Structure 1
Amino acid sequence: MANPHTGEIALVVNGERCLAKLTLGALAGLETRLETGSLMALVERFEGGRFSASDVISLLYAGLSACGWEGAEADLAEAEIEGGPMQAARLAARMLAVAFVVPGEGDGAL
Structure 2
Amino acid sequence: MVNPHAGEVALVVNGERCLAKLTLGALARLEERLETGSLMALVERFEGGTFSASDVISLLYAGLAACGWEGSEADLAEAEVEGGPMMAARVAARMLAVAFVVPGDGNDAV
TM-score by length of 2: 0.95
1:44 aligned partner: 44
* Whole-angstrom CA distance in 2 between matches of 1:88 and 1:98: 15
* Whole-angstrom CA distance in 1 between matches of 2:24 and 2:35: 19
Q: Show CA shifts across 1:36-61 (max 9, x none).
A: 22211000000000000000000000
Structure 2 residue runs without a partner (length 5+) = none
2:8 aligned partner: 8
Does 34-43 or 66-75 show the bigger shift?
34-43
TM-score by length of 1: 0.95
Instruction: Tell me, yes or no, if the aligned pair for 2:26 and 2:63 is still in contact at 8 Å.
Output: yes
Instruction: Tell me, yes or no, if the aligned pair for 1:101 and 1:108 is still in contact at 8 Å.
Output: no
* Whole-angstrom CA distance in 1 between matches of 2:102 and 2:109: 9
2:83 aligned partner: 83
The one-letter code matched in structure 2 to 1:21 is K
Structure 1 stretches of 4+ with a deviation exceeding 4 A read none
